[in-house]
Protein backbone atom coordinates (compact mmCIF):
# COMPACT_ATOMS: atom_id res chain seq x y z
CA UNK A 1 0.00 0.00 0.00
CA UNK A 2 1.79 3.19 -1.12
CA UNK A 3 1.89 6.00 1.45
CA UNK A 4 -0.48 8.89 0.79
CA UNK A 5 1.28 12.23 1.14
CA UNK A 6 -0.88 15.26 1.97
CA UNK A 7 -0.21 18.08 -0.50
CA UNK A 8 -0.19 21.57 1.02
CA UNK A 9 -0.07 24.88 -0.84
CA UNK A 10 2.37 27.61 0.21
CA UNK A 11 1.13 31.07 -0.73
CA UNK A 12 3.76 33.80 -1.19
CA UNK A 13 5.55 34.53 2.09
CA UNK A 14 8.64 36.01 3.71
CA UNK A 15 11.18 34.39 6.06
CA UNK A 16 13.24 37.02 7.88
CA UNK A 17 16.56 37.41 9.57
CA UNK A 18 16.36 39.00 13.01
CA UNK A 19 18.35 42.02 11.76
CA UNK A 20 15.97 42.74 8.87
CA UNK A 21 12.92 42.20 11.10
CA UNK A 22 14.29 44.62 13.71
CA UNK A 23 14.88 47.20 10.96
CA UNK A 24 11.10 47.37 10.48
CA UNK A 25 9.73 46.51 13.91
CA UNK A 26 12.36 47.88 16.30
CA UNK A 27 15.40 46.69 18.23
CA UNK A 28 14.63 43.51 20.19
CA UNK A 29 11.26 43.07 18.45
CA UNK A 30 9.90 39.51 18.27
CA UNK A 31 7.41 38.09 15.80
CA UNK A 32 3.83 37.77 17.05
CA UNK A 33 2.70 34.17 16.38
CA UNK A 34 -0.83 34.03 14.96
CA UNK A 35 -1.13 30.38 14.08
CA UNK A 36 1.02 27.25 13.90
CA UNK A 37 1.87 25.79 10.52
CA UNK A 38 1.97 22.12 9.60
CA UNK A 39 5.71 21.79 10.18
CA UNK A 40 6.44 21.73 13.95
CA UNK A 41 7.88 25.02 15.25
CA UNK A 42 6.88 27.03 12.17
CA UNK A 43 4.26 29.73 12.56
CA UNK A 44 2.43 32.52 10.77
CA UNK A 45 3.33 35.91 12.27
CA UNK A 46 0.94 38.82 12.65
CA UNK A 47 3.47 41.21 11.07
CA UNK A 48 3.25 41.82 7.32
CA UNK A 49 5.27 43.65 4.67
CA UNK A 50 4.94 44.63 1.02
CA UNK A 51 7.23 43.10 -1.60
CA UNK A 52 8.22 45.42 -4.45
CA UNK A 53 9.88 44.68 -7.79
CA UNK A 54 10.60 46.87 -10.82
CA UNK A 55 7.19 46.13 -12.44
CA UNK A 56 4.78 45.53 -9.59
CA UNK A 57 4.28 44.79 -5.93
CA UNK A 58 2.33 42.70 -3.44
CA UNK A 59 0.95 44.23 -0.26
CA UNK A 60 0.36 42.49 3.04
CA UNK A 61 2.64 39.53 2.44
CA UNK A 62 2.75 37.08 5.35
CA UNK A 63 5.90 36.68 7.44
CA UNK A 64 6.60 33.16 8.70
CA UNK A 65 8.58 32.48 11.86
CA UNK A 66 10.89 31.65 13.46
CA UNK A 67 13.82 33.84 12.35
CA UNK A 68 16.13 32.51 9.64
CA UNK A 69 19.84 33.25 9.08
CA UNK A 70 18.93 35.15 5.86
CA UNK A 71 15.80 36.91 4.67
CA UNK A 72 14.07 34.95 1.92
CA UNK A 73 10.96 35.77 -0.10
CA UNK A 74 9.11 32.79 -1.62
CA UNK A 75 6.82 33.51 -4.56
CA UNK A 76 5.30 31.69 -7.53
CA UNK A 77 6.48 32.04 -11.12
CA UNK A 78 3.33 34.09 -11.83
CA UNK A 79 4.33 36.41 -8.97
CA UNK A 80 7.83 36.92 -10.40
CA UNK A 81 6.27 38.07 -13.69
CA UNK A 82 4.12 40.61 -11.86
CA UNK A 83 7.13 41.83 -9.88
CA UNK A 84 9.27 41.98 -13.02
CA UNK A 85 12.00 39.77 -11.58
CA UNK A 86 13.54 36.52 -12.86
CA UNK A 87 12.06 33.25 -11.58
CA UNK A 88 14.89 31.38 -9.87
CA UNK A 89 13.98 27.96 -8.51
CA UNK A 90 15.78 27.12 -5.29
CA UNK A 91 15.62 24.98 -2.21
CA UNK A 92 14.73 26.97 0.85
CA UNK A 93 17.81 28.57 2.45
CA UNK A 94 19.86 28.60 -0.77
CA UNK A 95 19.68 32.34 -1.39
CA UNK A 96 23.09 32.99 -3.02
CA UNK A 97 22.67 34.46 -6.50
CA UNK A 98 18.90 34.92 -6.28
CA UNK A 99 17.36 38.27 -7.26
CA UNK A 100 16.84 40.99 -4.70
CA UNK A 101 13.74 43.10 -4.10
CA UNK A 102 12.45 45.83 -1.82
CA UNK A 103 10.46 45.20 1.36
CA UNK A 104 8.22 47.97 2.65
CA UNK A 105 6.20 48.51 5.81
CA UNK A 106 2.91 50.43 5.85
CA UNK A 107 4.78 53.15 7.79
CA UNK A 108 6.73 53.80 4.57
CA UNK A 109 9.98 52.39 5.92
CA UNK A 110 11.62 50.29 3.24
CA UNK A 111 14.66 48.08 2.85
CA UNK A 112 16.41 46.82 -0.24
CA UNK A 113 17.16 43.10 0.07
CA UNK A 114 20.19 42.34 -2.16
CA UNK A 115 19.15 38.70 -2.73
CA UNK A 116 16.62 36.17 -1.46
CA UNK A 117 13.66 36.19 -3.84
CA UNK A 118 13.01 32.65 -5.03
CA UNK A 119 10.48 30.20 -6.37
CA UNK A 120 10.70 27.32 -3.90
CA UNK A 121 11.61 23.97 -5.39
CA UNK A 122 8.73 21.61 -4.77
CA UNK A 123 9.55 19.28 -1.89
CA UNK A 124 8.30 16.69 0.59
CA UNK A 125 8.93 16.99 4.32
CA UNK A 126 9.16 13.65 6.10
CA UNK A 127 10.57 11.92 9.18
CA UNK A 128 13.32 9.25 9.01
CA UNK A 129 10.60 6.63 9.62
CA UNK A 130 8.58 7.89 6.64
CA UNK A 131 11.75 7.80 4.53
CA UNK A 132 12.42 4.17 5.48
CA UNK A 133 8.85 3.19 4.65
CA UNK A 134 8.94 5.00 1.31
CA UNK A 135 12.47 3.77 0.51
CA UNK A 136 13.85 7.27 -0.09
CA UNK A 137 16.53 9.38 1.59
CA UNK A 138 17.24 13.06 2.20
CA UNK A 139 17.83 15.04 -1.03
CA UNK A 140 16.47 12.25 -3.28
CA UNK A 141 14.49 13.56 -6.22
CA UNK A 142 11.29 11.71 -7.00
CA UNK A 143 8.12 11.93 -9.06
CA UNK A 144 4.78 12.37 -7.30
CA UNK A 145 1.47 11.42 -8.90
CA UNK A 146 -1.55 13.24 -7.50
CA UNK A 147 -4.89 11.64 -6.72
CA UNK A 148 -7.15 12.13 -9.67
CA UNK A 149 -9.77 14.85 -9.63
CA UNK A 150 -10.05 14.70 -13.41
CA UNK A 151 -6.90 16.84 -13.56
CA UNK A 152 -4.37 14.39 -12.21
CA UNK A 153 -0.75 15.14 -12.88
CA UNK A 154 2.72 13.83 -12.13
CA UNK A 155 5.18 16.24 -10.57
CA UNK A 156 8.81 15.69 -11.51
CA UNK A 157 11.85 17.10 -9.66
CA UNK A 158 10.35 16.78 -6.19
CA UNK A 159 13.09 16.89 -3.58
CA UNK A 160 12.79 14.77 -0.42
CA UNK A 161 13.71 16.47 2.88
CA UNK A 162 14.14 14.20 5.90
CA UNK A 163 14.30 15.46 9.49
CA UNK A 164 13.01 14.07 12.81
CA UNK A 165 11.11 17.34 13.39
CA UNK A 166 9.28 17.26 10.07
CA UNK A 167 5.70 16.12 9.53
CA UNK A 168 4.78 14.32 6.33
CA UNK A 169 3.61 16.85 3.73
CA UNK A 170 4.43 17.85 0.17
CA UNK A 171 4.69 21.60 -0.39
CA UNK A 172 3.77 23.20 -3.70
CA UNK A 173 3.21 26.85 -4.59
CA UNK A 174 -0.03 28.41 -5.81
CA UNK A 175 0.81 27.92 -9.51
CA UNK A 176 1.50 24.25 -8.93
CA UNK A 177 -1.59 23.77 -6.78
CA UNK A 178 -3.85 25.48 -9.31
CA UNK A 179 -2.54 23.10 -11.95
CA UNK A 180 -4.52 20.23 -10.43
CA UNK A 181 -6.76 20.91 -7.43
CA UNK A 182 -6.77 23.12 -4.36
CA UNK A 183 -7.21 21.36 -1.06
CA UNK A 184 -7.36 17.97 0.63
CA UNK A 185 -5.15 16.50 -2.07
CA UNK A 186 -2.81 13.58 -1.74
CA UNK A 187 0.11 12.32 -3.75
CA UNK A 188 2.08 9.10 -4.04
CA UNK A 189 5.81 8.82 -4.70
CA UNK A 190 6.89 7.19 -7.93
CA UNK A 191 10.54 6.22 -7.98
CA UNK A 192 11.06 6.43 -11.71
CA UNK A 193 14.42 6.87 -13.43
CA UNK A 194 16.17 7.60 -10.10
CA UNK A 195 14.12 10.80 -9.98
CA UNK A 196 15.96 12.14 -13.02
CA UNK A 197 13.91 14.18 -15.47
CA UNK A 198 16.68 13.82 -18.03
CA UNK A 199 16.23 10.02 -18.05
CA UNK A 200 12.47 10.48 -18.42
CA UNK A 201 13.01 12.62 -21.53
CA UNK A 202 15.50 10.11 -22.91
CA UNK A 203 12.94 7.34 -22.34
CA UNK A 204 10.22 9.34 -24.13
CA UNK A 205 12.54 9.91 -27.10
CA UNK A 206 13.38 6.21 -27.34
CA UNK A 207 9.70 5.24 -27.21
CA UNK A 208 8.93 7.69 -30.02
CA UNK A 209 11.75 6.20 -32.08
CA UNK A 210 10.28 2.75 -31.56
CA UNK A 211 13.04 1.56 -29.24
CA UNK A 212 11.58 -0.68 -26.55
CA UNK A 213 13.76 -1.94 -23.71
CA UNK A 214 12.83 -4.91 -21.57
ZN1 LIG B 1 8.09 23.13 2.99
All structural domains of the chain with their residue ranges: 6-120, 123-208
Percent of the chain clearing pLDDT 90 (strictly above): 77
How far is it, in rounded angstroms, from Cα 140 to Cα 183? 25
Model pLDDT, residue 1: 59
Model pLDDT, residue 214: 67
Q: Is the pLDDT of residue 43 over 90?
A: yes
Q: By the 8 A CB rule, do 118 and 10 touch?
A: no
Q: Residue 194's pLDDT band (boundaries 50, 70, 90)?
A: confident
- Taking the centre of ligand 1 as the mean of its atom positions, its distance from the CA of residue 86, in whole angstroms, is 21
67-101: pLDDT as tens digits: 999 999 999 999 999 999 999 999 999 999 999 99
Predicted TM-score (pTM) above 0.75: yes
Q: Does domain 123-208 have CATH number 3.40.50?
A: no
How far is it, in rounded angstroms, from Cα 42 to Cα 48? 16
88-92-93 Cα angle (round to 5): 105
Percent of the chain clearing pLDDT 70 (strictly above): 97
Q: Is the pLDDT of residue 169 over 90?
A: yes
- Taking the centre of ligand 1 as the mean of its atom positions, its distance from the CA of residue 108, in whole angstroms, is 31
| 3-state DSSP of 134-190 | HCCCCCCEEEEEECCCCCCCEEEEEEEEECCCCCCEEEEEHHHHHCCCCCCEEEEEE
Model pLDDT, residue 182: 61
Q: Is the pLDDT of residue 37 over 80?
A: yes
- Taking the centre of ligand 1 as the mean of its atom positions, its distance from the CA of residue 174, in whole angstroms, is 13
- Taking the centre of ligand 1 as the mean of its atom positions, its distance from the CA of residue 122, in whole angstroms, is 8
Q: Say how many residues make up the chain.
A: 214
Q: Would you give the DSSP letter of residue 10?
A: E
**Mean pLDDT of all residues belonging to the chain:** 92
- Taking the centre of ligand 1 as the mean of its atom positions, its distance from the CA of residue 118, in whole angstroms, is 13
DSSP reduced 3-state for 127? coil
How far is it, in rounded angstroms, from Cα 52 to Cα 103? 6
Q: Residue 181's pLDDT band (boundaries 50, 70, 90)?
A: low
Model pLDDT, residue 152: 84
- Taking the centre of ligand 1 as the mean of its atom positions, its distance from the CA of residue 165, in whole angstroms, is 12
23-27-33 Cα angle (round to 5): 85
- Taking the centre of ligand 1 as the mean of its atom positions, its distance from the CA of residue 6, in whole angstroms, is 12
Q: Residue 190's pLDDT band (boundaries 50, 70, 90)?
A: confident
In this structure, is the dihedral angle defined by the CA atoms of residues 32, 36, 38 and 40, taken in order, positive or negative? positive
Q: Is the pLDDT of residue 212 over 80?
A: no
Amino acid sequence: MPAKIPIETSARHIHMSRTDFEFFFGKGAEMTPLRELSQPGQFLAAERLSVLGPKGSFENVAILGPFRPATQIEVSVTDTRQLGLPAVIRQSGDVDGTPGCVLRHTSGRSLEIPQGLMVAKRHIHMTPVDALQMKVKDKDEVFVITESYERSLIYADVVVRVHPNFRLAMHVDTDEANAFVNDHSFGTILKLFDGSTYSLQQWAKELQQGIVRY
